[in-house]
């Protein structure tokens, strides 16, 4: 990928394209599929990611993530 190229919309890519872009993307899609199919909670999603060798690390975010609506 070039440095000046725009980022692709990940929602429009096939699994093969996701894997080519970054194998992690394909892993997350497959974990999401398992999680959704089983109808599990968030803890199970994190457990499934951990089973694939990933861990989720909390990050600090501002108290207000989105600006208030203008209307």
d(CA 66, CA 38): 31
**How would residue 19 be classed by pLDDT, with cut points 50, 70 and 90?**
very high
The 10s digit of each residue's pLDDT in 30-71 is 999 999 999 989 899 999 999 999 988 888 877 777 788 887
Q: Does a structural domain hold residue 20?
A: yes
- Position 64 scores a pLDDT of 79
Whole-model pTM: value is 0.67
User: What is the pLDDT averaged over residues 3-19?
Assistant: 89
Number of C-beta neighbours around residue 44 at 10 A: 14
Q: Does a structural domain hold residue 5?
A: no
Which residues span the domain enclosing 37? 14-51
Q: Does a structural domain hold residue 62?
A: no
In the predicted model, is pLDDT for residue 3 greater than 80?
A: no
Alpha helices in 1-71 (DSSP H): 15-21, 23-38, 42-51
The 8-class DSSP code of residue 27 comes to H
Q: Does a structural domain hold residue 45?
A: yes
Residues 6+ away with beta carbon under 8 Å from 27: 52, 54
Q: Does a structural domain hold residue 61?
A: no
The 8-class DSSP code of residue 8 comes to P
Q: Does a structural domain hold residue 71?
A: no
């Amino acid at each position: 990928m070039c440095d000046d190229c725009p980022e692709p919309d990940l929602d429009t890519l096939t699994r093969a394209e996701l894997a080519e872009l970054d194998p992690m993307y394909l892993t997350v899609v497959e974990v999401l599929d398992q999680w959704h199919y089983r109808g599990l909670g968030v803890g199970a999603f994190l457990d499934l990611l951990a089973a694939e060798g990933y861990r989720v690390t909390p990050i600090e975010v501002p108290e207000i993530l989105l600006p208030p609506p203008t209307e």
